[in-house]
């Protein structure tokens, strides 16, 4: 490959685009890799297309290496497929829906589980046909509420989506491990710093699912890591270790106290500490009961749910929603409180919750034998030493309190701290949700039909390109890892003599040696502009054919470490080939 900048369809920009906030968006636009066509919709220009293909090729090689087979399915899909699984509606506003000339409903595929399941059903019938692993790399369409950061969150974007089909659960687990291992190889080869986090809370959520997050401050996903181990998890999936239950005997009786003007935790703690009760109280000694309402899918009826957490923590709504999924959650309004007069705002205690049959779930730290200061179910009154397992027994536990920096790591070593990441891949044991919907069966050895089980595995190929830039850039531009760079070497010819001819000659030789070469052979462009462009574009190795040429020397530069070296003209081809690791 030899690309000449004199004719390349490329115009770099000196200014950041006005709508860009994150580095990858700024640099990919300034470097002429992409251009915005509409909100969340981007054109890939020649250099961008090369990088995108390089990423796709690595993904493809590793998919082929695990015997996944590449297909290409349509993006334009009739409504019926998504109707059978309910996703025509469930996808909500994110789905692009359209009609053909006859008025029939279509959609632009946001992900392809239905149609892959349908396809396999049409071709395969026997248990002997399975397992089968299929994938494609193509554009996906989602009308994202907030398209942002260039190609990081597009409305049209490139995804590798793969699907496994197995005859039983063991098969599904082994397919899952197979893809997961391939993902590890892919992201290693791409040179990304990433973590694998479990995406669903093991206890409540259905099947196994993990996300691959590229570590980047601009990421939208928050996760926690341990200071000492490689433990990492989505905040939604952190499982707080439950302390040992404590013995009940010998504990003081619960006592009720008049506590005027103590509707907030802080005023309560201040009051108790001023009241001379023989010990000090902190917010962590109080039990706060947060009321919400939940509704099961398909039901009209809202049900009350009380969540008990230590008073020094808030309920994390995202964790709560994840824990209760697929049920909906909402906060109570005035009317709800009026309908349940036993709920005394600011003074809600476990007793009236349980007496009135409100489902009551508590934080895992609230174990048998722990005693709490909590509401006494009448205004301006609290109970002290209300003891779990003696004075009240909750309906169960729910792990939805906020996770904080410094909390102990669930694996027992180190403490947690929060970091941000970009979801670049997702592996998911779907189970039989989609195969049930399309009734995908295979005849077992006994001649009886068996429901096939499915996994789905996505990588955001275009998002990966931007994630690489997020992790690999400096104030001058992009620093491409060699594996995905648009070229191996950028040869810059600059000066008033025959530097450009010489640059072209060297480029030709480098190309012959198998390198992918970008050459700056533009006439009438200043050296400063050419150097600035080279740094912005971010090709790993640069050869400068400039003023030194009359003395028989050229310069070899390394984009990543900034290293510069004068090299004799006769040696430049060999040295460059070596620098490029070819």
Contacts with Mg ion by CB under 5 A lie at 426
- Residue 151 CB, nearest distance to ligand ATP (Å)? 7
Residue 42 or 392 having the CB closest to ligand ATP = 42
| Strands 105-108 vs 96-99: parallel, antiparallel or unpaired | antiparallel
414 contacts 226 by C-beta, under 8 angstroms: yes
Of all residues in the shown chain, the one whose CB is closest to ligand ATP is 460
113's enclosing H/E stretch is helix 113-123
Stretch binding ligand ATP (CB under 6 A), from 327-335, 421-429, 524-532, 554-562: 421-429
What is the rounded distance in angstroms from the CA atom of residue 312 to the CA atom of residue 284?
Answer: 5
State the binding partner of 321 from ligand ATP, Mg ion, none, CB within 5 to 8 A by kind: none
Q: Does 153 bind ligand ATP (CB under 6 A)?
A: yes
Minimum CB distance to ligand ATP, residue 265 (Å): 34
Residue 463 engages ligand ATP in binding (rule: CB under 6 A): yes
Half-sphere exposure at residue 278, Cβ-oriented, CA atoms within 13 angstroms: 3
225 binds, among ligand ATP, Mg ion, none (CB under 5 to 8 A by kind): none
Establish if 423 lies at the interface with ligand ATP (CB under 6 A).
yes
Shortest Cβ 472–ligand ATP spacing (Å): 18
Q: Euclidean distance between the first and final Cα of the chain, in Å?
A: 14
Site for ligand ATP in 115-144 (CB under 6 A): 142, 144
Which C-beta is closer to Mg ion: that of 350 or that of 460?
Answer: 460
**Binding-residue pattern over the window 511 to 550 for ligand ATP, x denoting contact by CB under 6 A:** ----------------------------------------
Q: Which stretch binds ligand ATP (CB under 6 A): 288-296, 459-467, 524-532, 557-565?
A: 459-467
Determine the Cα–Cα distance for residues 422 and 171; give it in Å rounded to an integer. 30
Question: Counting contacts by CB under 6 A, is residue 426 touching ligand ATP?
Answer: yes
540 binds, among Mg ion, ligand ATP, none (CB under 5 to 8 A by kind): none
111 touches ligand ATP (CB under 6 A) = yes
Judged by beta carbon, residue 40 or residue 131, the one nearer ligand ATP is 40
Stretch that binds ligand ATP, among 4-12, 18-26, 309-317, 419-427 (CB under 6 A): 419-427
Q: Which of 135, 142, 81, 84 is nearest to 108 (CA)?
A: 142
CA 482 – CA 489 distance, rounded (Å) = 10
Closest separation in Å from C-beta 426 to ligand ATP: 4
Q: 405, 225 in Cβ contact below 8 A?
A: no
Out of 425, 493, 538, 540, point to the residue binding ligand ATP (CB under 6 A). 425
Q: 153 or 559, CB closer to Mg ion?
A: 153
CA-closest candidate to residue 48, choices 136, 150, 146, 135: 150
Q: Residue 301 class from Cβ within 10 Å (0-12 exposed, 13-18 middle, 19+ buried)? A: exposed
> How far is 425 from 211, CA to CA, in rounded Å?
6
Q: Does residue number 106 form part of the binding site for ligand ATP (CB under 6 A)?
A: no
Q: For CA atoms 359, 361, 366, 367, give the dihedral sign.
A: positive
Residue-level length of the chain? 582
Distance CA 80, CA 68 (A): 27
Q: What number of chain residues touch ligand ATP (CB under 6 A)?
A: 15
Q: CA 204, CA 73: separation in Å to the nearest integer? A: 34
Smallest distance from ligand ATP to CB 511, Å:
34
User: CA 394 to CA 361: how far, in whole Å?
Assistant: 6
Which residues sit at the interface with ligand ATP, rule CB under 6 A?
111, 142, 144, 153-154, 157, 159, 423-426, 458, 460, 462-463
């Amino acid at each position: 490959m030899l690309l000449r900048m004199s004719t390349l369809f490329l115009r770099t920009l000196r200014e950041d685009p006005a709508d860009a906030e994150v580095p990858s968006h700024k640099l990919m636009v300034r470097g002429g890799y992409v251009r915005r066509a509409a909100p969340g919709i981007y054109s890939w220009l020649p250099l961008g297309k090369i990088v995108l293909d390089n990423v796709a090729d690595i993904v493809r090689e590793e998919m082929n290496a695990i015997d996944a087979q590449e297909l290409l399915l349509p993006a334009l899909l009739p409504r019926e497929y998504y109707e059978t699984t309910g996703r025509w509606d469930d996808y909500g506003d994110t789905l692009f829906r359209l009609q053909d000339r006859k008025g029939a409903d279509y959609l632009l595929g946001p992900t392809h589980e239905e149609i892959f399941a349908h396809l396999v059903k049409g071709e395969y019938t026997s248990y002997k046909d399975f397992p089968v692993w299929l994938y494609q790399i193509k554009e996906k369409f989602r009308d994202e509420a907030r398209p942002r950061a260039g190609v990081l969150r597009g409305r049209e974007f490139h995804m590798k989506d793969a699907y496994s089909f197995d005859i039983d659960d063991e098969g599904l687990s082994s397919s899952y491990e197979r893809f997961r291992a391939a993902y590890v190889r892919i992201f290693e080869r791409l040179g990304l710093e990433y973590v694998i986090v479990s995406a669903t809370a093991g206890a409540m959520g259905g099947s196994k699912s993990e996300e691959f997050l590229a570590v980047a401050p601009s990421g939208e996903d928050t996760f926690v890591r341990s200071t000492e181990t490689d433990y990492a998890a989505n905040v939604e999936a952190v499982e707080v270790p439950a302390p040992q239950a404590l013995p009940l005997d010998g504990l003081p009786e619960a006592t009720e106290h008049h506590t005027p003007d103590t509707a907030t935790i802080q005023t309560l703690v201040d009051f108790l500490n001023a009241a001379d009760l023989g010990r000090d109280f902190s917010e962590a000694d109080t039990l706060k009961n947060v009321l919400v309402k939940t509704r099961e899918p398909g039901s009209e009826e809202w049900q009350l749910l009380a969540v008990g957490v230590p008073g020094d923590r808030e309920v994390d709504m995202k964790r709560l929603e994840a824990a209760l999924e697929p049920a909906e959650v909402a906060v109570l309004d005035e009317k709800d409180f009026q309908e349940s007069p036993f709920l005394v705002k600011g003074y809600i205690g476990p007793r009236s919750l349980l007496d009135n049959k409100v489902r009551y779930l508590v934080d895992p730290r609230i174990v048998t034998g722990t005693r709490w200061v909590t509401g006494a179910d009448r205004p301006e009154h609290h109970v002290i030493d209300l003891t779990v397992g003696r004075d009240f027994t909750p309906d169960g536990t729910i792990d939805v309190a906020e996770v904080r920096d410094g909390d102990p790591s669930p694996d027992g070593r180190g403490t947690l701290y929060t970091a941000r990441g970009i979801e670049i891949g997702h592996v998911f044991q779907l189970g039989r949700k989609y195969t049930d919907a399309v009734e995908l069966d295979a005849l077992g050895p006994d001649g009886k039909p068996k429901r096939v089980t499915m996994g789905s595995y996505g990588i955001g190929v275009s998002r990966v390109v931007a994630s690489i830039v997020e992790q690999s850039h400096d104030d001058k531009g992009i620093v491409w890892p060699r594996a995905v760079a648009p070229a191996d070497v950028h040869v810059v010819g600059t000066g008033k003599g025959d530097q450009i001819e010489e640059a072209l000659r060297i480029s030709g030789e480098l190309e012959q040696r198998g390198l992918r070469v970008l050459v700056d052979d533009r006439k009438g462009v200043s050296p400063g502009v050419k150097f600035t462009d080279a740094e912005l574009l971010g090709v790993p190795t640069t050869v400068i054919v400039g003023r030194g040429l009359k003395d028989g020397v050229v310069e070899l530069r390394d984009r990543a470490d900034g290293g510069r070296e004068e090299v004799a003209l006769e040696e430049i081809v060999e040295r460059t080939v070596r620098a490029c690791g070819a």
